[in-house]
Amino acid sequence: MENKKLEDQIIEYMEQIEIPDELDRCVQQGIEIGRLYQERKKMMRKWMKGLTTSAAVMGIAFVGTANLSPTFAQTMSEIPVIKSLVKVVTFGQYEYKQDNYEANIEVPIIEGLENQVLQEQLNAKYLEESKKLFEQFKTDIAEIERLGGEGHLGTDAGFEIKTDNESILSIGRYMVNTAASSSTTIQYDTIDKKNEILITLPSLFKDDTYIEVISEYVKAQMKQQMLEDENKMYWIESEEETIEGFKKIHPEQNFYITTQGKLMISFDKYEVAPGYMGIVELEIPTDILEEILVSDAYIH
């Protein structure tokens, strides 16, 4: 009887306590975290269905780091506070190591875009590219084995963030293939985080005159660098010497925008120079672009 009376007193006391708005907000945040976490698990399970066929037979590990790592747990705990931020995390990884064959392919995923169509298109592209790269790696192994099993084969792929500020996200996805020699490629995507659109090189300019303007500057810089440094070498088209080489950039030439709002033009290894030069990147001065830019919102 005394216990019952004590319970009644406790209940009466608790009912008189005013729950602060901040506590109620925290509870709601907790509910939101749980909901987002469950949605993320469903999405990742759906994406991972197609990744376990022949990979399992070959002993390949696909690690869902966004699901398993401590970093992801921290990310989830921050979602109510930073849900408006756009960022890139590692979604998963293809790994293979046996004899002279080794692959390490990281799959990036973009989070935080309200433009779900753009976000899903980019993430689907990154996943598909990684799958194709790994399938090619397996095909190359099979061909080497068919020819006698002699040789080394390596594939390393991942991503790096070149720019991540209030306006711009530039993400580069690199791939290094190693066999008798090595080749390196990198592909950039640049996103307007405020308007949530993918920025293309043509979209920056009023018309296609940018191709000639940038190309002439690039050739001049290549020549200047070779004069100043004997260790630098570029392949530049020359009418006098009938040498085939760089003539002009592609209309969709690989590029990114720096934190300072500068345009960087990028060339893959062997694209405009010998292999020892690696990836070639050149900054294009804004003053030679001012008259042909659509606006100074991105390049300034």
DSSP letters, 64-80, are -HHHHSHHHHHHHHHHH
User: For domain 204-288, is the CATH number 2.60.40.10?
Assistant: no
Q: Which residue has the higher pLDDT, 149 or 277?
A: 277
CATH of domain 21-199: 3.30.565.40
Distance CA 30, CA 7 (A): 29
**In which residue ranges of the chain is CATH 3.30.565.40 found?**
21-199
| Least reliable range by pLDDT among 66-75, 117-126, 219-228 | 66-75
- Centre a 10 Å sphere on the Cβ of residue 96 and count the other Cβ atoms it contains: 19
CB atoms within 10 A of CB 218: 22
Judge whether residue 290 has pLDDT over 50: yes
Note the pLDDT of residue 299.
96
CB atoms within 10 A of CB 227: 9
pLDDT for res 26: 42
178 has pLDDT over 50: yes
Residue 199 has phi, psi (to 5 degrees) of -90, 125
Most confident of 13-27, 31-45, 159-173, 200-214: 200-214
pLDDT band at 141 (very low <50, low <70, confident <90, very high): confident
Residue 9: pLDDT band with limits 50, 70, 90: low
Mean pLDDT calculated for residue range 183-197: 91
Residue 243 above 70 pLDDT? no
Residues of the chain with CATH 3.90.640.20: 204-288
Helix (H) or strand (E) holding 254: none
Cβ neighbours of 32 (radius 10 Å): 13
Mean pLDDT of 12-41: 48
Predicted confidence at residue 239, as pLDDT, reads 58
The per-residue pLDDT of the chain, averaged, comes to 78
Q: What are phi and psi of 145, to 5 degrees?
A: -65, -35
- Predicted confidence (pLDDT) at residue 19 exceeds the cutoff of 90: no
Between 45 and 287, the more confident residue is: 287
In the predicted structure, residue 217 carries a pLDDT above the cut 60: yes
Mean pLDDT value of segment 21-35? 46
Burial track 257-279 (b if 16+ CB lie within 10 A, e otherwise):
beeebbbbbbbbbbebbeeebeb
Name the pTM for this structure: 0.69
CB-based contacts of 67, cutoff 8 Å, min separation 6: 40, 41, 44
Look at residue 268 and tell me whether its pLDDT is greater than 90. Answer: yes
Position 52 pLDDT exceeds 80: no
